[in-house]
A and B are shown apart, each in its own frame.
Chain A
C-alpha cells in the first residue's frame, strides 16, 4: 500500500541532491588543521552516503531480517515445544480415557462402547482443530522439523517488514507479539526506503538497456533525419545572416519585442555535432510503455507460479494466485509453500520463498517507478481532452 509513496521519496532525494550541488559554496583555503577536518568530514560524508546508498541499504535489510529471525525463533520456539507437548498430552489423555472406559465396562458391548468412544474421539477432534487454527500443523512423518525453525523465523520476519503477513505462523506469546510490533515499526520504513532506492536504480538500469538496445535503431533513424534538417536550416541561415544583424542596431528601443522573437527560434548552435548531441535521446527522460512493464511483471508471476506449483503439487492457478497475493503484499496465507503436512524439504522451500518475495518486491518497485510517468501523462491528456483539467499543472 505504501508503494505509492516510494516514488515521491526518491524524487525528493534527487531534488535534495540537485539543490546541494547547485548551491555548493567555495571552500576558503585554510590551515592544515582545517584541511584535516575537511578530509574527516569528507570521509564521514562518503561513509554516510554509502550507508544510505543502494548496497548499504540492501545489506542492512538482510541483516535486519536475519536478526529478526534469530529473535523470533528465540522467543517462540519454546512456546511451540510446549504446544506440541500439550497436543501429545491430549493424545495420551484420550488413549487413557479409551482404555479406562474399556476397563470399566465389565462386559465389552460394542454399541455402548462405540457411543462412549465417539464422544471421546470427537472431543479429541475438536482439540486438534483448535490447535490447527492456532498454527499447529501436525508432525511430519518424513522429517520432524518444527515450525519455528530458523528459515521459518526468517520468513516470518520478512512477512512482517514487507507487510505481507501470511499468518500461517504467528507469535503466540505476549513477548512475541510486542516484539512483532516493535520490529514492524522500525522495519517497515527501512524496507520502504530500501525498495525506493533499489527501484530507482533498477529503473535507471532498465531505461538504459531499453534505450540503447531496443531503441538504437529508432535513434539512428532520428539522428539521420535531424542531421538532414539541420543542414538545410544552416544553409538558409547562412544565406540571410546579414539581415538580422543590421536590424539589431535600429530597434534598440523596442527591446521587449525583440528578445521574445529571437528566443522563439532555436538557440544558434555553433556546432553541428553539439546540436545532434542535444537532440539525442537522454535515457533518463525516456518513458517506457506500460505494456513492457506489465509483461515483465506477468512473466515474473508466471515463473513463480510454475516453480511453486511444481514443488507443492498445486495446480497452476493456485500457484499464480499465491504469487499474485504475495507480490501485491496482500498475503492471505491460505497457500504457503512448506505449510502443508505433506511437503518435503521445508527449509529450502522457505528460503526460496523469502528470496522470491524480496526480488519480486524490488521488481514491483522498479515497475512502479517506470509506470508512473506514463500513467500520469496519459491521465493528464485524458483530462485535458475531457475538459476537466484546465492547466497542465493539475497532476
Chain B
C-alpha cells in the first residue's frame, strides 16, 4: 500500500508546486481524471474573474477619475461663485472711489496751479487774479501729474491682486461650471494653470483636501491605463509593422541553426584531440560542458524560431517621440483654430500643458463670450494627453535602458554579460531564480516591462502569457523556479549522487 502511495503523492506534490501560484485547488484523490474536469470548469470561472478584474481595475478607475473631476467642478463652483461676485463689486467700488479722488486732484491741480489754463490776461484783469496763484511750467506739471498717476497705478495693481479683479464688469462670473471643471482637472493632474484660483478660505482648504485625495487616484489610473495602452500598442506594432522583420529574423535563425549543426560536428571531432594533458576533473568538466554546449546552441536556434511568435517587441524611441510630436501638433492646430493664437503660441500651450508645468498665460476658453465646448475640449485634450504621455513613457523606458546598457557595453564601461543573442542560456535561468526572490521583496507595479532576455524583469501582469520569458519556450512559472531552487539548497551530506547530478545539470 505504501509503495502504491508514493508515486501518486509524487504526482500531486508536483502538481501542487506548479499550480500553487494560480489559486487552484488540487484534490488529493487518486483519480487524475477528476482533476482535469476541475481544470476545465475553472477555466470558465477564471475567464469571468479575469474580465471582472479588468473591468474593475481599468474601466473602474477611469470612471472614478471622471466622476471625481466632475464632483470637484461642482464643489468649487459652489464655494467660489458668490464670493467672486462680492469681490468683484467691492473692487469696482474701491476703484471708482479712487478714480474720483484722482480726477478731483487733477482737476484742482490743473485749474489752480498751471499756467496753461489761465486765460489770456485782459486789461481789466483785476478780478481774474484769483485764477492763478502759483504757476508751474509744463515739465513740473508733467511730473506732478505723473506722480499722481503712479500712485493710482499702484492702487489698481494691489486691488487687482487682492480681489482678483481685472477690470471686467461683474455681470459674468469666471467660476462657471466648465471653468470649475477645468480647474479641478488641473488640480488633480498637477498642471495648475492659476488663471482662476480659490479666494475664500473654505475654497483653499477644499483645494488642499481635493488634491491630497485626487492626485494619488489620478496617478493610479494613469499607471493602469498606460499599461493597457502600451500592451495594445505593442501588439499592433508587432503584428502590423514588423511583418518584414519576422521574415528576416527567421532566415537568420535558420542560418544559425545550420551553423549549430556545423559546430556540433566540429566538437565531436575535437573531443578526442583535446583530451591530452588535462586533469581528470577538467576532463569531466570539459566533457559535461561540451555535451551541454552544442545542445544549447541547437536549443538556442530552435528557441529563437519558437520565440519569434511570442517575443517581446520593444517599440523604438523614434516611434514614441513621433506619437508625442503628432499629438502636440494636432493640439496646436486645434487651439490655433479655436483660440486665435499663433501656431507658436498654441504649440507652446500644448507643450506646457502636457508636461504639467502649466504656467497659465495661455488658457483656452477664457474670453467672456466663449462657448462652453471650448473648455470641455480643453479638458478632454488634457486627459487624453496625460494617458498618451504615460503610455509613451512606458514604451520608452525599456528602449532607453537597453540603449544605455548597449552604449555602456560598447564603451567597455559595463562588463560583458554574456552573449545577448543566446536566449536559452542557463544564466538566464539562474538570474531568474536569483531575481525572483528579490522582486518578491521589492514592490511591484501593475505594468509589465519584461526585457527581451527576461533579464531586467520588473513585475508580473495579470495575464499569464507574459510571464513566458523567451528563454527556450520553456514555460517558466515562478513556482517552478522555487521548486527547483530547493534541491540546490540541501546540504551536501544529505544529497545522494542522483540529486547532486540534478543540481549540476540545472546549474
Minimum-distance CB pairs A-B, first 3? A165-B357, A330-B192, A167-B359
The minimal Cβ–Cβ distance linking A95 to chain B, given in whole angstroms, is 5
Answer whether residue B170 sits at the interface, using C-beta atoms and an 8 A cutoff: no
Q: Which of A2-10, A209-217, A348-356 contacts B (4 or more CB under 8 A)?
A: A2-10
Q: Which residues of B contact A53 (CB under 8 A)?
A: none
Contact status B490-A263, CB under 8 Å: yes
Query: Which residues of B are found within 8 Å of A285, using beta-carbon distances?
Result: 441
Question: Are the C-beta atoms of B431 and A330 separated by less than 8 Å?
Answer: no
B462 touches A167 (CB 8 A): no
CB-defined interface of A172-200 with B at 8 Å, one 1/0 digit per residue? 00100110110010001000000000000
Interface residues of A in 379-394 (CB under 8 A from B): 388, 390-391, 393-394
Contacts of A113 in B (CB 8 A): 107, 110
Residue A59 lies at the interface, judged by CB distance under 8 Å to chain B: no
Chain A residues within an 8 Å CB radius of B458 = 8, 11-12, 15
Does the CB pair B434–A22 fall under 8 Å? Answer: yes
How far does the alpha carbon of A5 sit from the alpha carbon of B447 in the complex, in Å?
11
Contact residues in B for A393 (Cβ distance below 8 Å): 21, 444, 460, 478
A192 to chain B, nearest CB (A): 10
Instruction: Report yes or no: A257 in contact with B103, Cβ–Cβ below 8 A.
Output: no
Contact of A163 with B462 in the complex, beta carbons under 8 Å = no
Which residues of A are at the interface with B, using a C-beta cutoff of 8 A? Answer: 1-5, 7-9, 11-12, 14-16, 18-20, 22-25, 41, 44-45, 48, 91-92, 94-95, 98-99, 102-103, 106-108, 110, 113-114, 117-118, 121-122, 124-126, 128-129, 132-135, 137-139, 159-160, 163-167, 170, 174, 177-178, 180-181, 184, 188, 248, 252, 254-257, 259-260, 262-263, 267, 285, 317-318, 320-321, 324-325, 328-334, 340-342, 372-373, 376, 388, 390-391, 393-395
**A139 to B430 CA separation, bound complex (whole angstroms):** 69
Given contacts A165-B192, A393-B460, contact A184 B351 (CB under 8 A): yes
Q: Restricting to B224-254, which residues have a CB under 8 Å from any CB of A?
A: none
* Least CB distance, A49 to chain B, in whole angstroms: 9
By a CB distance below 8 angstroms, the chain A residues around B153 are: 91, 124, 128, 138
A4 to B223, Cβ gap below 8 A? yes
Q: Is the CB of B190 within 8 A of A329?
A: yes
- Beta-carbon contact of B411 and A44 below 8 Å: yes
A203 to B145, CA, bound (A): 61
A1 x B219 contact (CB < 8 A) = yes
Contact call A99/B156, Cβ cutoff below 8 A: no
Interface residue SS majority, chain B: helix
Complex contact A12–B401 (CB within 8 A)? yes
* In contact, B445 and A8 (Cβ under 8 angstroms): yes
| Interface SS majority for chain A | helix
17 CB-based A-B contacts, threshold 8 Å = A4-B223, A12-B397, A19-B435, A22-B434, A25-B416, A106-B119, A113-B107, A114-B107, A138-B154, A163-B355, A166-B359, A167-B358, A257-B6, A259-B490, A330-B186, A341-B157, A388-B56
Known: A4-B219, A124-B149. A330 touches B156 (CB 8 A): no
Interface residues of B (CB under 8 A from A): 6, 9-10, 13, 21-23, 49, 53, 56, 95, 99, 102-103, 106-107, 110-111, 114, 116-117, 119, 138, 141-142, 145-146, 149-150, 152-154, 156-158, 160-161, 164, 166-167, 186-187, 189-194, 197, 201, 204-205, 207-208, 211, 215, 218-219, 222-223, 344-345, 348, 351-352, 355-361, 386, 393, 397, 401, 405, 408, 411-418, 427, 430-431, 434-435, 438-439, 441-446, 455-456, 458, 460, 462, 478, 486-487, 489-490, 494, 496, 498-499
A91-B149, A167-B360 given; A184·B355 CB < 8 A: yes
A94 CA to B103 CA, complexed, in Å: 13
Also in contact, A11 and B442, with CB within 8 A (given A1-B189, A160-B357): yes
In the assembled complex, how far is the CB of residue B365 from the closest CB belonging to chain A, in whole angstroms? 16
State A138–B164 Cα separation when bound (angstroms): 16
In contact, B49 and A170 (Cβ under 8 angstroms): no
Given the known inter-chain contacts A8-B458, A390-B49, A394-B462, please indicate yes or no for A18 contacting B158, CB distance below 8 A: no
The answer to whether residues A325 and B192 also contact, given A259-B487, A285-B441, A390-B49 and a CB cut-off of 8 A, is: yes
Contact A128 B157 (CB under 8 A): yes
CB distance from B312 to the nearest CB of A (A): 16
Using Cβ atoms and an 8 Å threshold, which residues of chain A touch B102? Answer: 121
The minimal Cβ–Cβ distance linking A13 to chain B, given in whole angstroms, is: 9
**Complex contacts, A177 vs chain B, CB 8 Å:** 344-345, 348
- Bound complex: CA A235 to CA B158 (Å): 83
A99 to B499, CA, bound (A): 107
- Whole-angstrom distance between the alpha carbons of A117 and B360 in the complex? 35
Of the listed residues B352, B412, B498, the one surrounded by the most CB atoms of chain A closer than 10 A to its CB is B352
Chain B residues whose C-beta falls within 8 Å of the C-beta of A395 in the assembled complex = 443-446
With A321-B204, A330-B187 as contacts: A132 and B157 at CB distance below 8 Å: yes
